[in-house]
Amino acid sequence: MDKPTRFFLYFIILTAIFMSSVLQVPVYAATFIVDNATDTVDVTLGDGICADSSGNCSLRAAIQESNALAGADIITLPAGTFNLALTGTGEELAATGDLDINGSLTISGAGTKLSFIDGQDLDRVFDVGPSAAAITVSMSNLVIRNGTVTGNGGLIRNVAILSLTEVSLESGQAATGGGLHTIGNLTVNRSLLRDNNASADGGGFFQGGGITSVTNSTFSGNTATGNGGGLYLATAVTTTLDYVTIAFNTAVTNGGGGLYNAASLTLNSTIISDNTVENCASVGGTVTTDGSGLDSGNTCGLTMGVDLVNTNPALGALVDNGGETATHNLTAGSPAIDTANVTCPGVDQRNVVRPVDGDNSMTAECDIGAYEWTPAIDLQVSNNHDKDCVKRGRDVTYYIGVSNIGTGDASSVVLTDTLPASATFISATGGCTFLAGVVTCDVGILAAGTSQNFTIVVNAPVVDYLQNTVAVNAAEQDNNQANNSAVESTRINCSACFIATAAYGSAWTKEVISLRLFRDQFLINNKTGRQLVLFYYRVSPVLAEEIRSSELYRLLARISLAPVIALSKLLTGDQ
CATH number for 468? 2.60.40.1510
- Residues paired with 487 in a beta bridge: 469
Judge whether 328 lies within some domain.
no
Same domain? For 487 and 503 the reply is no
Instruction: Tell me, yes or no, whether 77 and 174 share the same domain.
Output: yes
**Do both 145 and 264 map to the same domain?**
yes
Structural Rg of the chain based on CA atoms = 34
Phi-psi region of 186 (alpha: psi -120 to 50; beta: other; left: phi over 0): beta
89 & 192 share domain? yes
**pLDDT tier for residue 464 given thresholds of 50, 70 and 90:** low
Task: Give the model's pLDDT for residue 82.
Answer: 98
The DSSP secondary structure of 485-550, one letter per residue, reads EEEEEEEES--TTSHHHHHHSSTTSHHHHHHHHHHHHTGGGSHHHHHHHHHHHHHHHHHHHHHHH-
Which pairing describes strands 315-319 and 173-174: parallel, antiparallel, or unpaired?
A: unpaired
Domain boundary pick from 239, 268, 297: 268
* In a domain? residue 360: no
> How high is the pLDDT of residue 294?
97
Which amino acid belongs to residue 387? K
The answer as to whether 365 is a domain residue is no
Same domain, 412 and 552: no
- Which of 111-120, 273-282, 552-561 shows the lowest mean pLDDT across its residues? 552-561
Distance between CA atoms of 410 and 401, rounded to whole angstroms?
A: 15
202 in the same domain as 115: yes
Query: How distant, in Å, are the alpha carbons of 95, 405, 483, 486 from that of 380?
Result: 59, 7, 5, 9
Q: What angle do CA 270, 272, 278 make, to 5 degrees?
A: 155
Computed over every residue of the chain, the mean pLDDT equals 87
Whether the CB-CB separation of 107 and 142 falls below 8 Å is answered with yes
Residues 11-66: pLDDT tens digits?
333 233 333 333 333 344 799 999 999 999 999 999 999 999 999 999 999 999 99
Asked whether the bond before 420 is cis by omega within 30 degrees of 0, the reply is no
- Return the percent helix, strand and coil in the chain, to nearest 5: 15, 35, 50
Q: Count of CB atoms within 10 A of residue 342's CB?
A: 9
Residue 391 lies in a domain: yes
Specify the pLDDT at position 20.
Answer: 37
Domain boundary among 237, 268, 299: 268
Same domain, 385 and 525: no
pLDDT tens sequence across 63-105: 999 999 998 999 999 999 999 999 987 899 999 999 999 999 9
On whether the CB atoms of residues 66 and 45 are closer than 8 A, the answer is no
Question: Residue 3 has what pLDDT?
Answer: 37
Q: How far apart are CA 574 and CA 310, in angstroms?
A: 55
**Cβ–Cβ under 8 Å, residues 180 and 201:** no
More confident position, 519 or 264? 264
List CB contacts of 380: < 8 A, sequence separation 6 or more: 402, 403, 404, 405, 480, 483, 484
Residue 104 lies in a domain: yes
Interaxial angle between packed helices 510-521 and 551-572, expressed in degrees from 0 to 180 and rounded to the nearest 10: 50
Q: Is residue 3 part of a domain?
A: no
Q: What's the total number of domains in the chain? A: 3
Q: Does residue 568 lie within any of the structural domains?
A: yes
The string of pLDDT tens digits covering residues 355-413 is 988 777 778 899 999 999 987 788 999 988 887 677 777 888 889 999 998 877 888 89
Identify whether residues 169 and 217 lie together within a single domain. Answer: yes
Q: Does 512 lie in the same domain as 468? A: no
Specify if 287 maps to a domain.
no
Residue 525 has pLDDT above 80, yes or no: no
Q: What's the first-to-final CA gap in the chain, in angstroms?
A: 74
Distance (Å, whole) CA 153 – CA 99:
13
- Higher pLDDT residue, 206 or 341? 206
| pLDDT one-digit tens code per residue, 134-193 | 899 999 999 999 999 999 999 999 999 999 999 999 999 999 999 999 999 999 999 999
Tell me, yes or no, whether 390 and 437 share the same domain.
Answer: yes
Domain with 145 in it: 27-268
Domain closes at, from 460, 492, 524: 492
Beta bridge partners of 295: 272, 309
- Identify the weakest region by mean pLDDT among 18-32, 215-229, 248-262, 296-310: 18-32
Q: Annotate 298-319 with b (16+ C-beta within 10 A) or e (fewer).
A: ebbbbeeeebbbebebbbeebe
| Residue 63, φ and ψ in degrees, nearest 5 | -65, -40
Task: Examine the domain organization and report whether 59 and 137 are in the same domain.
Answer: yes
How far is 178 from 194, CA to CA, in rounded Å?
10
Whether 478 and 503 map to the same domain: the answer is no
Closest-CA residue to 201 (of 127, 263, 273, 151): 151
Q: What is the pLDDT of residues 437-448, one digit of tens each?
A: 899 999 999 988
